[in-house]
Amino acid sequence: MLRKSISGSKYSAGQKTDSFGCPFDKLYKDQSLQGADISFFRKGTRENRIEQVVTPASDRGFAIGISTLAGHTRRIFHEHHSTTHAFEENSLYIRNLAEPYRADLIGAFDMLLLEISPASLRKIAEEADFSGVAMLDAETASIDPVLANLVRALIPALERPEEASKLFVDQLATAIGTHLVQRYGGKIQPPLSRSRKLSRAHEALAKNLLLENLDGDISILDVSRACNLSRGYFIRAFRETTGVTPYQWLLNERIMRARELLKGSEAPLSEVAIACGFADQSHFTRVFTNVVGTTPGHWRRNA
């Protein structure tokens, strides 16, 4: 299962700010998660003002931030002037970390942050058939509901990393990366749409690998490599072949197996949960209820 970084653990003992320049003592929310070629963070503060957030120029790549709340304002200092930007709910910024950054943050915020290295951006672009994309267009306080909804889907994984499916996080990271290069990667001619399906051998291999890892603790890269395909191609081909994404297919299989165990045995819910790849009984109950519409116990009594 994926693990959340403990606040401050990835930095030196004497360091007082995180990698985005925000003081640790001002953050009440500090979560992180690693996906396919993208690092995800959630940063939140209740402070009304944080002055002089500074990050020096670096070769780390690009930072993308999505505001989950309205009411946050940034005064960004440029070489000879400053600009002020009001962030609404789901508004975003894209920043090239090769450029130094200095800003005053005004108002409480809850930000979902992404960091993509230059090498990862090129890899994402190639897998999305947008070879040649090496930069993302700068944005400040603009609205992108598609990106916001994709990134928001990772909030449960950030909050409960012990329950997070690596397959789900990687799959979502691939979708997020593809959207970023398509929308913000410059005026690159989009590829021609064409049908992509897995061969019967690749479909069987992929499904067997997924079933061998019911808890989802296998990466999209592992499965796509076994099929000798890129991640982006594999996800699209799997969806065109089966009608669902790899994660959704595996989730359906887990629920189907759970139903069989609930109906055909007297095993406790905790044992059914582990047998079907869930972290524990509470995790199983949440997912089962969300998919089926009723709790496992209630479903068993009426089966």
pLDDT tens over the chain, length 303 residues: 454 443 333 444 455 899 999 999 999 999 999 988 999 999 999 989 888 899 999 999 999 999 999 999 999 999 899 999 999 999 999 999 999 999 999 999 999 999 999 999 999 998 888 878 889 999 999 999 999 999 999 999 999 988 889 999 999 999 999 999 999 997 655 555 566 889 999 999 999 999 999 888 899 999 999 999 988 889 989 999 999 999 999 999 999 999 999 999 999 999 999 999 998 999 999 999 999 999 999 999 988
Q: What is the CATH classification number for the domain harbouring 141?
A: 2.60.120.10
> How much is the pTM?
0.84
Decide: helix, strand or coil at residue 77.
strand
Backbone angles phi, psi at 172, to 5 degrees: -70, -40
> CA nearest 71: which of 34, 131, 111, 116?
111
Block residue for tokens 């299989």: 253
Domain span holding position 34? 25-184
Do 172 and 208 lie in one domain? The reply is: no
What does each C-alpha distance from 194 to 97, 144, 163 come to in angstroms? 35, 26, 36
Q: Is residue 51 in a domain? A: yes
Do you know the residue count of the chain?
303
> CA nearest 17: which of 102, 86, 87, 136?
102
Q: Among 192, 226, 243, where does a domain finish?
A: 243
Do 39 and 169 lie in one domain? The reply is: yes
Q: Is residue 121 in a domain? A: yes
Backbone angles phi, psi at 19, to 5 degrees: -70, -10
Q: What is the CATH classification number for the domain harbouring 265?
A: 1.10.10.60
CA torsion angle 187 138 156 69 (round to 10): -130
> CA nearest 273: which of 163, 167, 159?
163
Backbone angles phi, psi at 62, to 5 degrees: -135, 145
Mind listing the pLDDT tens digit for each residue in 129-157?
Answer: 887 888 999 999 999 999 999 999 999 99
Do 224 and 164 lie in one domain? The reply is: no
Total domains present in the chain: 3
Q: Is residue 2 in a domain? A: no
Q: Is residue 20 in a domain? A: no
